[in-house]
Structure 1
Amino acid sequence: MIISPPLLKTAQGNQSDEDWLKGLMPFESKGNYPISSLLAWHGGQHIEHTDTGTRGEPVRAIADGKVMFARKPSPLTGENAKPDLAINGGSSDGCAIIKHSTEIGEGLEGQVEYYSIYMHLKQVFVQKNQPVYRKTELGSVGQCNSNNAMHMEIICDDDNLKKLVGREKGNLDLSKDGRMDVVYGDMHFYLPAGATFYGAQPSANSQTGAGTPAYISTTPLFISMRFEKGNCKMSTRQENPEILGEYTCIGNEIIETDYEYNLYKAATTLANRNEIASSAMYELLRFGRVINIDNETAIPAGAAPHWRRVNYPDGQGWVNLNAVSIKKYSDADFPHWMGWNLIADDATPDSQCNSPTLLGWLDSDGDKKYTSKELVQVLGQDKVKERLSRSICKFPTEWEVATLNTRYEWIKTESDLLETPLDTDQYENFIKLITALCFWAEADLGITADHWHFHPREFIGHFRKCGWLSPNELIQTIPITVKKLSETTFRSENIGSNTAIQTRVNRWGRHLNIVLRKYSIDNTIRRVFFFANVWEETGYLRLMVEGNGSQASYAPWYGRGLIQLTHLSNYQSYGNYRGFVTRQITGQFSALGWDPEQLIAENDHNCIDTAVFWVNPSASAIGRNILIEADRGFSIDVALQTARGTNGNVSIEKLNGLDGRLQVAYYLKYILLEDIPLQDFEVLTFTWRRSSVKTGQRVVRGQVKRVFETGNHSINVDILARRPL
């Protein structure tokens, strides 16, 4: 899934993705989720907008999809104005609804649908049944009760809730590991009471530590493992004994610098000591368990240790996260100890929130009475806002005309909460305004009016951690054309029709997703540079074996795989990493002991898994994990360094296919990152070989050899996006 907020602005400096999103979609807006200050259900988030500059920032599609409903806004002023919309200072009735069909993991359980709703637009640029893509301009922000703001919702039905969240109700099941077909984001571990912690780091193949334990837990603990730009951050939580369902952090995060960058070395070291394939051990350290059981040897709980230093109450120690009693999960499981709650316990027909769960959270003094003053105070607390934002709630839409009176009659009756109820005229005006804004029957989305709601910012932020790409998203990463150097002139080459690209993606897409997830090439900037290189290496997924390789001087050890293995030593290294069985065989592969045609060229998963090249410093041409370069952000220098790491650490004129690699990186900047193209091309200026043929001469050991000469180039990169069929 690729997803972004409805209003886009460039991140500032080293601003984290989380802070960037908070700035674009702040909680401080007047429309609270999932309840208002009058304790009425509110299915979305109000997003205020300043519209500074000569042209207001447009509202954009958060992801690819199809427009299911579009309503052009009615004028708020002038002779054609709708008087009902002027109530409460004026509200725009422009609206667009998009259905998003995408993937977050493998198989049917990974295929999901949800809807995004954009309300209070002063302009609407799209129409019903129109396909839209992430960042497509939908309209512009209008008025919401006189404020320059829009209302946004993200909703789904029962079937898709189970796919999106992994369950239908209640807390996560702690008796078993989390799902394996959908895995992304941070990894989490449930440690029941009785977990043993040691003061000193145990040996790599020891199931227990030496000496007396430093601590044995008396209550359940929850460990989270997060990779971030090479570092690994470990945090510990426990339930607050005084507040049911609230989990608090123990101490500060423990940060292990460069742990992610050194994961290959750690995996091979531990694998050798435990006599387990390094590839399987890599998954244990990456996910806490082996999840690709179709292609890896499983490591059952207790079979090999996974020692990590973590916090426990009043201290730190080493704990084996692969002990038999410990269960493993990922962000894809929406762990309740991370604040995620499924709320569906309001059986009343009106729009007032009567959920015992939420009311319990808001009852600050425990008297089970709720006044407007108390609610304003409680709802203004950051801690409460955060807890409410991760509640996934089921209640009826506020946009259905047929049920308006049933849902809003309560606002005419005085109560502790509503000291000044609406009189008859006020109520009629209120109903007129809501009626003018309603759309549910007309939109006819095909889901019930009583459905599940997500806080938009939390939904977007959560799924930005999901790196699994749907076929349609993968197709878009391959440009339509690139310019290739032909002698001293660049000529445009067509990469292939949508039908041809679709065929390639259908074959390789699943394996690409599995491998990119494993090697943490699952955020947007890393994928930009990875795809920029492997698309060039493979002819855009067309070739997985080096052309005319059998004629090469190093045959039969010519290139095979996504990042092509070349030379006997690299084949041996990869075979050892995967744990391939070596045998006494005859013929051209006798020195290797296994057949690379069978195990790589003809095995689709293994073919793609050669991407391990990127995270293996000893195989990378630059002698370090290439993720280190990609994490520096987008620049032509980073593009050059990742190209050197992939193709060869040579002088710039010797880098093969650099013209294609750079152009694809620039193209992907607009597909995968948040950049907005201003036109259909971008000027790229770079230094490379002057000509595609060797025009220079150099004397080597007394002999004159033809060599490439350097030259400067400036070309227009075609950034027109490929769109699926």
Structure 2
Amino acid sequence: MIISPPFLPTAGLNFVDTKANPPSVDPLMDRVDKYELAHGIYPIAFDRRWHCGVHLMPAMQNEKVHAIADGVVVAYRVCQHAYDGGSGTRDSHAGFVLLRHTTETGDGRTLTFYSLYMHLLDLESYQSVSADAKRLPEFLRMPAPGDDAEVPPAQPGEGRKVSRKDVLGWTGGCQGQWHLHFEIFMTSADFEAYFAQTQLGRTTVNPALGKDCWGHCYFLIPQERAFRALPPGVDSHHMLSGIAFEPLQTGQNAQPLVVEMYFHKGSKYTNVWSMSEDGSRVLLTPKPICEVDYEYDMYARATKLYAACPSDGYELLRFGRILSEPATLTSSSASTSASIDPAIQGNPQSRRVPSQCATWMRAAFEEGKQGYIDINNPEILKLSDADFPFFMGWQKISEGNSPFNADGLCDIDALKRVVKDTTERQTPQDVALKKEYQKEEVLARYVKSNDAVRRQLRGFICEAPGQWDSTHNEERFRRLKEEGEFYHGNEAGYAAFMKLLTSFQFWEKTGLPAGQKLWFFHPLAFIRHFRRCGWLSLREQIQLLPRRSLPDAGALILWEQSENRFTEDHKEANRQWPRNIWMALNDMFLKYGLSNALRKAHFLGQAFKETGALRSAREMGDSNYFRKMYESYTAEDAAYDFDHNYNWIKKLGFLRGRNRAEYIATRPHDIHEKATSNGNVHPGDGARFKGRGLIHLTWRNGYRDYGKFRSRDYTADPNPELLESDAETAADSAGYFWIMRRINAKADNGVTDQDVQNCLRLVGGADGLAERQQFFRYAYFVLSDAPTMPVDGGLQRQVEDV
């Protein structure tokens, strides 16, 4: 899924802190986190009631509010004027948009959630912040019908669609406090459909369910496991199968360990915590262990350490486990179940210790001490961000473990128990306070002044009533009339408050069930977490092919045509395309670490040109063309091409400054040398090993080396054709080529035309630079957080045809 925060500040988009250690992996979210205000704290309001959103205020009031993902409008309200929130002045804004989002996250996992943008600025105030209503979808440009003096009624969305990054409005406020109230929630049915397959709510860790694995990887190491100074089998130079290992230390971990592993710009980062019986953690790595260029070198590492199947080995190095099925690497050595932690006895991998799959990871086993441990050992559980494990702070807050009592009020002592805070911060005077409003002040001080608690609250996933549903109004707010509370003895004031509240609410327009609890997330934590997913839904991929581009790129591609190219297969005289390439692309992106917008866009910029905008997974040409390109080239061929195809051979760089006589004399020798050095030594090898896959793999040696990587034979007929007929092979061969040539090292450098050209040099294509650059720029706009499309007169955004 592609998801962004509701604000896209330029400072966050372009920020790179070269001094940070470790470097920020998501600077935009770091910037937007600073917009969160100290009032309206998630999930506790100032008066101890549920507050299941956050209040965000950008650095500049004229920053636009954007849709966080592609979605369907559920309900909305557009106001012409601000309204009186009770102070006698127009100081509040009732405009809002509620969106429903449905997307995929991998392994057949559909995720449906809602995002709410409340307190959007009224139309009359646009001029004060230099807002341009033309930036809005048409339905948000006119006020809802209703009396100007009061809040106009909300409107049903009627199936309207918005795209990620569409402008929904500008920030208004409530009762003089300028902010956007922002929520993300799920219905109970949607929540169970997705999270039942995760670790959320479990305090005992279980093996990961299915192959869904994305984001950061986690390894749970039981206590008293041996750490080695060097892996077994290293030589006197500390080399194992040609891979160098730095000597570390030996020892054991006194407590269970949680190990976090992730990659960023080619380097591998590892954090380690020791974990106590109550689940609390102590960080053993003040700074993550950094192994520079580990990811860029991972192909070479896999081919040397896992010669029997480097492809499986590559997954072991990236995930700590093999996700592809069936796995090639196996073992014949049994493990002893007596030593396995009871919490992981159900792990099917615990029956055998795969010696071929040994994966020696560098990690801390106590503060200041590091060693190597084989994380492929079945006693070590392997999870990822896809599992929402409790030890990374995720807590399911529902009846039974909630700090909120039956009246919907948060109790400070109950909150401390939930967050396992044993530190006494209350003064004797605080403890002596009895009245409810006095307790509110103590709770507010506790939450606002305690950064550790604020961080833990971000991991709360709460089942609570929605505040925009009027069903529970009297139950939730009647305590405001009690002694010491705001409306004690003021029935008229309370009635005015309830009238204002109900005019603000809109649930009856949503079509969602009334009176039911919802599941709420800290919205910025939700967005930050799912930005690691990397999986693209079909609808998101359809948008990756521009509607209009250069004639030699894609020219005109309608929405339906784009959808067909990602989902359907076809075979013509000179073209073949496999079915469901969109699924295969996602598998390949995950396996080979094309996890962010920059890497994906660089890959797609090359692949779209190689495949003619996803029209053919094989190089076009007849048998004579492939003979001349990849097998044998005669003097007669050279003379004919110089006389009749001069512009073509010049464009492809074959001339190299040679005149006709020189070209005829030397070009045949060039082809012969190139063919024999690349293994094309048999008649028909030119056509047999023509370019295939999303990035055209060529030559017998190219197919042979890919076969060695996968532990399969792609040189014997008809197996070469799998690279064009089978979507998984067509995509995987391109991913293999990408990491084998270390192209990520070039892709990570940036977004310029020169960066695209540097990638092309490693891909080896001889033409189409302008088209590759245009494809890259467009794909990067779709995938990244950039709010506007690059200026290009020949480029048009893909839109769904109505």
TM-score range, shorter chain: 0.7 to 0.9
Structure 2 matches for 1:245-284, cutoff 5 A? 245-251=279-285, 252-272=287-307, 276-284=308-316
Post-superposition offset of 1:616: 3.7
Question: Which residue is equivalent to 2:259?
Answer: 223
**Equivalent position of 1:185 in the other structure:** 215
1:174 aligns with 2:205: yes
Partner of 1:44: 53
CA RMSD of aligned residues (A): 3.0
SS in structure 2 at match of 1:96: strand
Q: Distance in 1 between matches of 2:453 and 2:41?
A: 11
8 Å contact kept, 2:697–2:734: no
* Other-structure match for 2:470: 401
Q: Which residue of 2 aligns with 1:652?
A: none
Structure 2 unaligned runs (5+)? 18-23, 124-135, 140-156, 235-239, 332-348, 434-438, 568-579, 631-685
Inter-partner Cα distance in structure 1 for 2:250 and 2:562: 57
| Compared CA separation, residues 536 and 12, structure 1 to 2 (3 A) | closer
| C-alpha separation in 2, matches of 1:57 and 1:378 | 32
Compute the displacement of 1:414 (Å).
Answer: 4.8
1:526 matched to 2:599: yes
Matched, 1:234 2:303: no
Match of 1:479 in 2: 546
SS at match of 1:104: strand
Match of 1:23 among 31, 34, 56: 31
The 8 Å contact of residues 549 and 558 in structure 1, kept in 2 or not, is answered as no
Q: Verify: 1:657 aligned to 2:768, yes or no.
A: yes
By how many angstroms is 1:348 displaced? 5.1
Greater shift, 281-290 or 136-145, is seen at 136-145
Pick the aligned partner of 1:287 from 291, 307, 319: 319
Map of 1:696 onto structure 2: none
Residue among 62, 65, 68 paired with 2:68: 62
Flag the structure with higher helix content.
2
Q: Give the direction of change, closer, same or farther, for the CA distance of 1:283–1:50 in structure 2 (3 Å limit).
A: closer
- Whole-Å separation in 2 of the counterparts to 1:292 and 1:560: 22
Deviation at 1:594, TM superposition (A): 5.5
| 2:15–2:27 contact (8 Å) kept in structure 1 | no
Tell me if the contact between 1:7 and 1:59 (Cα under 8 Å) persists in the aligned partners.
Answer: yes
For 2:203 and 2:595, locate their aligned partners in 1 and report how far apart those are by CA, in whole Å: 25
How is 1:412-431 mapped onto 2 (pairs within 5 angstroms)?
412-414=481-483, 423-431=490-498
Question: Is structure 2 residue 778 aligned with structure 1 residue 638?
Answer: no
Distance in 2 separating the partners of 1:357 and 1:611: 54
1:174 partner letter: V
Within the candidate set 371, 384, 407, 1:317 is matched to: 371
Give the aligned residue type for 1:62: I
Alpha carbons of structure 1 residues 469 and 448: separation in structure 2 relative to 1, 3 Å: farther
Instruction: Tell me which residue corresponds to 1:567.
Output: 699
Question: Match of 1:351?
Answer: 408
Residue in structure 2 matched with residue 505 of structure 1 by the alignment: 566
Shift of 1:180: 3.2
The aligned length equals 644
1:707 equivalent in structure 2: none
Q: Which is further off, 343-352 or 261-270?
A: 343-352
Contact 2:96 2:118 in 1 (8 A): yes
Letter in 1 for 2:735: V
Find the residue that maps to 1:98 and give its secondary structure.
strand
1:69 Cα shift?
Answer: 0.3
Match of 2:205, as an amino acid? L
1: CA distance, partners of 2:440 / 2:168: 37
Query: Contact conserved, 2:554 with 2:612, CA < 8 A, in 1?
Result: no
**Partners in 2 of 1:311 and 1:398 — Cα distance?**
46
Deviations 1:642-693 (A, max 9, x none): 1222234xxxxxx311121111112123211222227xx624xxxxxxxxxx
CA shift in 2, pair 1:212/1:482, >3 Å: closer
Counterparts of 1:428-439 in structure 2, within 5 Å, are 428-439=495-506
Contact 1:670 1:719 in 2 (8 A): no
Q: Secondary structure at the match of 1:67?
A: strand
Q: Distance in 2 between matches of 1:428 and 1:420?
A: 9
Equivalent AA in structure 2 for residue 515 of structure 1:
M
Q: 2 CA distance for matches of 1:466 and 1:144?
A: 35
Q: Using a 3 Å threshold, how does the CA distance of structure 1 residues 93 and 132 change in structure 2: closer, same or farther?
A: same
Superposed CA deviations along residues 527-562 of structure 1, whole A, max 9, x for unmatched, are: 111111101111122101111263312212111111
2:41 aligns with: 32
Range moving further from structure 2, 660-669 or 461-470:
660-669
Contact 2:37 2:57 (C-alpha < 8 Å) held by counterparts: no
Query: In the aligned structure 1, how far is the partner of 2:254 from the partner of 2:39?
Result: 43
The match for 1:378 is 446
d(CA) in 2 for partners of 1:285, 1:22: 29
- Tell me which residue corresponds to 1:608: 731
Alpha-carbon displacement from aligned partner over 1:427-453 (angstroms, at most 9, x marks no partner): 334323322221112222358630100
1:7 aligns with 7
Report the equivalent of 1:470: 537
Structure 1, unaligned runs of 5 or more: 486-491, 583-591, 649-654, 684-715
Match of 1:720 in 2: 797
2:9 & 2:796 partners in 1: Cα distance?
A: 20
Q: Deviations over 1:26-66 (max 9, x none)?
A: 344421001123321101011113545xxx22211000010
Matched, 1:494 2:555: yes
| Sequence identity percentage | 28
Distance 1:365 1:284, change over 3 A: same
1:603-628 CA-to-partner distances (Å, cap 9, x unmatched) read 221111112344444xx3xxxx1101
Helix, strand or coil at the partner of 1:118: strand
Q: TM-score, normalised by structure 2?
A: 0.75
- Cα distance, 1:425 vs structure 2: 4.4
C-alpha contact 1:185 1:466 (8 A) present in aligned 2 = yes
CA distance in 2, matches of 1:84, 1:160: 35
Question: Are the aligned partners of 2:199 and 2:388 in contact in 1 as well (CA < 8 Å)?
Answer: no
Distance 1:579 1:234 in 2: 30
Which protein is richer in strand relative to its size?
1
Moved more, 508-517 or 160-169: 160-169
Rounded to whole Å, the distance in 1 between the matches of 2:443 and 2:55 is: 18
Inter-CA distance 427–668: structure 2 relative to 1 (3 Å threshold): same
Q: Secondary structure at the match of 2:502?
A: helix
- The one-letter code matched in structure 2 to 1:386 is R
**Partner in structure 1 of residue 778 of structure 2:** 667
Opposite residue 537 of structure 2, the aligned amino acid is S
Alignment match of 1:132 (pick from 139, 150, 162):
162
Query: In the TM superposition, what are the counterparts of 1:142-221 in structure 2 within 5 Å?
Result: 142-165=172-195, 166-167=197-198, 170-171=201-202, 173-176=204-207, 178-203=208-233, 214-221=250-257
Please give the secondary structure, in 1, of the residue aligned with 2:311.
Answer: helix
Partner SS state of residue 721, structure 1: coil
Deviations for 1:148-182, whole angstroms, at most 9, x for unmatched residues?
Answer: 21101000023332454444852265232x13342
Q: Matched residue of 1:309: which SS?
A: strand
